[in-house]
Amino acid sequence: MIEQISPLQLFQWIQKQSESNKTVLLIDVREEWEFETAKIKADGFDMVHIPMQTLPAHLDQLDSDRPIACLCHHGSRSQHVANFLKEHGFETVVNISGGIHAWSNELDPSVPQY
């Protein structure tokens, strides 16, 4: 089962991972137009934009030992991606529940909602 964390909980999770000397990778799985519409800044984590449909082609570029947080618009697509990653041997994967919409509401209202 994939752990669900809110945007606020993400930073606690990042801190926990850093205690193991691991840097979190946040994968934004939204489409290009969505990514361009509402971006977040990487703060204490690395970030990559890989639209959901293209993830299988990029799987070999990801480190399966690295902690990964998945993000989309509301949390549904990122949940599918998190499950896909788990099924392909990625050990530490979480889903950011509520997605970029919750990010804007909980953390940074300067991130546009769409």
Catalytic residue list = 72
Q: How far apart are the first and last CA of the chain?
A: 29
H or E stretch at 94: strand 93-96
For residues 38 and 69, give the distance between their C-alpha atoms in angstroms, rounded to a whole number. Answer: 17
Q: What residues pair up with 49 in beta bridges, in sequence order? A: 28
User: What's the CA angle centered on 29, arms 12 and 58, to 5 degrees?
Assistant: 105
